[in-house]
Chains A and B, each alone.
Chain A
Amino acid sequence: MKYHLITLGCQMNLSDSERVSAVLENMGYVRTENEEEANLLGILACSVRQKPIDKIYNKIAQWNKWKNKRNLITFVSGCVLPADKEKFLKTFDLIFPMSELAQFPEMIREYGVVTPAGLKPPKPVMPQNEHIADMWHIKPKYQSTYEAFVPIQNGCDKFCTFCAVPYTRGREVSRPSVEIIDEVRHLVEQGYKSITLLGQNVNSYGLDKNGEEINFTELLRQIGEYGKTSTEEFWVYFTSPNPQDMNRDVIEVIAAYSCLAKQIHLPLQSGDERVLIKMNRRYSMDKYRRIVGDIRELIPQATLFTDIIVGFSGEGETEFQHTVEAMNEFGYNMAYIAMYSPRPGAASYRWENEVSGDDKKDRLHRLTEVLKIYSRQYNETLVGRTFRVLVNGSDRKTGFSTGMTEGKLIVRLDQYDASLMGKIVDVKITSAADFSMSGELQEVFSIQSK
């Protein structure tokens, strides 16, 4: 029996897909990348923008045509809006929230039955997260042997007005710290080099436990302490944080421990105070500026990444210019810039979406041009210097190996060597481009230790 799984959206969905794979492969299913030979077809949905949802509708339409010719079971999970869930109930065989993953084998065995979630009328509000711990207990089928995602928190209570995640992932729930640290330890002992702590509000970790769990700073500190005692070299990242809950303590801890990667992803969304308020982003530009100031002061070698939305309701040219100014001020190494996409369920869905598609594209392009300037300038300062690089792929054009620095900057090596995959090597940077660099291999850490 074969299964094919399409994973859309963020690293959280990628992490969840590893648990879905684990469940299916424990049942005896074998993964195939060829949908046409699979008996079980599934999608981990992303509802952050309309495009991935449209992809799902197209895909299930195709799969349902195949059902005329062969036995198939189809399922969808991940982030599903209530409005889409109502439609998916009519087109997919199975639909369930990730918190019910432990029951997935039972659902498949009773093939043809919608899940307990599906038996109830479409729920008007968010899924409950009380079973999320069951999902976390499933040992994931890691897709990589050197890069892993560790969920530490699920759900969102922030209700940013552009976002439907509170309605798809439910309330903020923190995973027990003991489990997180155990999983990190296990991964390091297995030779993993890049470990990313995941959560919709990763730095809100522990706040939902009312003092009965450590907070994010302490979690990082304990991971850092483990790193000090380990003989392995590894980098620990985290995403996505909310500037609202970010403070100097977090930056101080990152500065104190070498295994805590000097790469900060700090979503800005907009550089305009008014737009931030309308987005319900509960930080001012001053607060964001203070956080960046702490980063530049305490970990000056850190790279800075962000998320930006262009074309949000209320963003005129003046407001957009404030975002351009912010891009110039903070000099990001990378920005994930998205055109605003109204999401059913999110508060802004009911507001006027007055920025035209063309204007959104234009703003995206203009911000990308600003980003290129700073990214290239930064990369050029690294030319001639040697950095540790985790080799994790190969370049499509040249066929040479590629990797990333601790700061997640892409480096193309001057050679291809399959044996380098997953290893940390020393690379001397020889040239810089907008979003990547080239370099010469200097040394291989063959025993992968410090």
Chain B
Amino acid sequence: MSEIGINDYFCSPKFVAMMSLIKHDIKIDESFYRLEEIRHLTDETFSLKLPKARFAFKAGQHISLGIHGDYQSREYSIYSGVNDKNLEVLVKEVEKGYFTPKLRKLKPGDLLEIHGPFGKFGMEPEAAKTGKFVFIASGTGVAPFRSMVRTYPEIDYTLIHGVRYVSESYDQHEYASDRYILCSSRDPKGTYHGRLTGYLKNRTFASETQFYLCGNSDMIFDALEILKEKGFERDQISCEVYF
């Protein structure tokens, strides 16, 4: 600041500000993470692997992620488990979007700024041990559920995942085959050929089941209606809308 005190006597405010920007290094603080790896899962979808999270979080929460030097940020569910050695997020590139194409072009070593964790989507650790859960996801909405499954290995869950094509069953191998229901709307090779709401209508669930829904709002609305018709209370259903 003292260098600038000399300059401002001679320079216009805007010039001084510009000088300051040139002279000062950017401070790297604990919210910056260097990208370790990009995992390409499909042509459009990839995960970003960062060093271990420097903050405590609960499975189901999300973070805000920005690219160093860019003023925009986006929120992403944490894809990794609480004890995983990497912090990971799942990203789908939006065609002609501003942000996700930039994420896709990142290279290991690039700086990202992370803030969080945020949100209350998820269960308490004690509840995860004793409850019965059904996770309903469309597309990348599976992200928080992978975190939950990795965080609570003993959790009693069923994951109903709605996708267009079987190739979008991201990291399917991580789920027990009898617990993961892949509903593929355009591909007959899933567990169920059709929309997940079609599968949901024909399925019965124990009365004490807790439901977690994540993904696009149309799917969430329709699934909510189906579950309400089956007699489940709104309090038994938690939702996280992606778009």
Contact = CB atoms under 8 A, between A and B. Distances in A.
Q: Do A and B come from one complex?
A: yes
Interface of A: 82-83, 85-86, 89-90, 93, 110-114, 118-126, 157, 159, 161, 166-167, 171, 273-274, 277-278, 280, 282, 284, 286-287, 314, 345, 347, 350-351
Nearest to A74: B13
5 tightest Cβ-Cβ pairs between the two chains A and B: A124-B66, A122-B71, A112-B13, A112-B8, A82-B71
Contacts of B221: 273-274, 277
Given A111-B13, A278-B217, A124 B4 contact: no
Contacts, number: 100
A197 to B, nearest CB: 23
A110 B8 contact: yes
Contacts of B127: none
B178 to A, nearest CB: 30
Contacts of A280: 241
16 contacts: A82-B71, A82-B73, A83-B71, A85-B71, A86-B71, A113-B20, A119-B20, A119-B21, A121-B26, A121-B71, A122-B71, A125-B66, A161-B241, A274-B221, A277-B241, A345-B73
A126 B234 CA distance: 32
**Chain B residues touching A, majority SS:** mixed
B73 A125 contact: yes
A112 B1 CA distance: 11
Nearest to A106: B1
Contacts of A86: 71
Interface stretch (B115-123, B159-167, B203-211): B115-123
A273 B239 CA distance: 12
A284 B241 CA distance: 14
B170 to A, nearest CB: 22
A157 B118 CA distance: 6
A403 B69 CA distance: 51
B86 interface: no
Contact of A125 (B26, B64, B94): B64
Contact of B115 (A82, A83, A125, A287): A125
Interface of B: 1, 4-5, 8, 11-14, 16-17, 20-21, 24, 26-27, 31, 64-73, 75, 94, 97, 113, 115, 118-120, 217, 220-221, 224, 234, 239, 241, 243
A126 B8 contact: no
A309 to B, nearest CB: 16
Nearest to B31: A125
A284 B234 contact: yes
B114 to A, nearest CB: 8
A113 B17 contact: yes
B26 A114 contact: no
B71 A93 contact: no
Contacts of B73: 82, 124-125, 167, 345
Nearest to A82: B71
A118 B64 CA distance: 21
Given A82-B71, A351-B243, A111 B8 contact: yes
B4 A113 contact: yes
Nearest to B19: A113
Contact of B27 (A85, A120, A278): A120
